[in-house]
Amino acid sequence: MKTSQNGLIQREFFGLTSKKIPIYQFTLKSESGMICKIINYGATIRELWVPDKNGELVDVVLGFDSLEEYEKQNSKYYFGSVIGRYANRISGGKISVDGNIYQLPLNETGINTLHGGFEGFHTKVFDAFFDEPCSNGATLVLKYTSIDGEEGFPGNLDVTVTYRLNDFQLSIEYQAITDKPTIVNLTQHSYFNLSAQDTILDHYLMINADSYTPADEGLIPTGEIRPVEGSLFDFRKPRMIGKAVQEILKTGLVGYDSNFVLKGKTGDLRFAAELIEKKTGRSLKVYTTQPGLQLYTGNYLSGVRGKKGRIYNKFAGVCLETQNFPDAPNHKNFPSALLLPGELYNHKTVYKFSFIEESPVCGD
């Protein structure tokens, strides 16, 4: 165990992978009472314990109890894992980098590349390091080298993910360097449920976005950037997720799985979204330096046995994935995902928890 002024870290054995590689769980604690448990398999957040307005701690993320379950099932759900090399979808699995065409695995219905391929970063074992004790909170550094050609991506990519738990916030910083031109888009795929109940349909959600990127039936962006005003994608004021989902279901969609164009300057840490559960009083504000946020309402969860035998069904959790835009390498008008040798890929996301006393103003 190592301690810092504002937190501590404990390490324990979590299990052996199918290849007999030992995996460890790291428990980060802050003085505020928050607890975050992370395994170095997939750099995965397994548990995130947050007090409510009365001080009662509850685990607010979905996940599994055992390493075997993560190995066998998480390529379908991605519970709590870091996603790479490219989060979200790439149309037809084809990218052009430095004049060369690369074919990536078609792991989504045999048509598109999703979340880095069959063996994306959610399946990788990261090297773990304790940061030296400091006043910035309990800090865990996870590193992984993705070799040239892994899942079809060019270049050797050295990746560092830094988790820091301090007071009532969890920050995640992503860095990467390459020895060959490549594309990179990393994110965190936690499913949040601030009440730890069956669904998130009674949660309220606000997204700081005036526009979104419409997608086709395969959830590949058309390339258009469309205003949210007057649409079912307008979350500029808090909306109850259940009511929003009811409306989106009428259009033939199965829920939200959509990218929003965040307001503000990419590279600046700015407010992206807020999730509120008024019975417990928990509020989660998301801040990021990224240009986009993918809203996913857990549309395809069905009978999944999660932690402590809990069954996750549709809408059991909501993902707020800070990211570059889906399929950005194939749309010149989207932010570039290109990383060149000598450059540093660097972005940050912060999850900040607080408590509310009154119901939010509903935008419905």
| Best CA proximity match to 49, nearest among 168, 142, 143 | 168
Angle at CA of residue 361, ends 359 and 364, nearest 5°: 120
Q: Name the residue type at position 165.
A: L
In angstroms, the CA 361 to CA 329 distance is: 38
Q: How far apart are CA 263 and CA 307, in angstroms?
A: 36
Cis ω on the peptide bond leading into residue 89 (within 30° of 0)?
Answer: no
In a domain, 62, yes or no: yes
Structural domain harbouring 73: 2-355
Residue 159 confidence (pLDDT)? 98
User: Are 222 and 216 contacting, i.e. CB atoms less than 8 angstroms apart?
Assistant: yes
- The residue among 73, 134, 135, 83 whose CA lies nearest residue 113 is 83
265 burial (CB, 10 Å; 0-12 / 13-18 / 19+) is exposed
**CA–CA gap between residue 327 and residue 213 (Å, rounded):** 11
| Catalytic site residue from 274, 321, 331, 347 | 321
pTM score, two decimals? 0.95
**pLDDT score recorded for residue 131:** 62
Answer yes or no: is 280 within a domain. Answer: yes
DSSP track, 331-364: -TTSPP-EE-TT--EEEEEEEEEEE-SSPPPP--
Q: How far apart are the C-alpha atoms of 49 and 105, rounded to whole Å? A: 36
In a domain, 120, yes or no: yes
For the chain, list residues with pLDDT below 70: 1-7, 131-135, 357-364
Angle at CA of residue 65, ends 61 and 68, nearest 5°: 125
For the question of residue 189 being annotated catalytic, the response is yes
Please write the tens of the pLDDT for every residue from 163-204: 999 999 999 999 999 999 999 999 999 999 999 999 999 999
**How far is residue 357's CA from residue 11's CA, in Å, rounded to a whole number?**
36
What does the pLDDT read at residue 135?
59
Is 363 contained in some domain? no
Q: What is the CATH number of the domain that holds 286?
A: 2.70.98.10
Catalytic residue among 115, 122, 189, 203: 189
pLDDT at 130: 81
pLDDT at residue 356, as a whole number:
84
360: in domain:
no
**Is the torsion defined by CA of 262, 265, 268, 271 positive or negative?**
negative
Count of domains in the chain?
A: 1
Residue 89 lies in a domain: yes
Q: Is 321 a catalytic residue?
A: yes
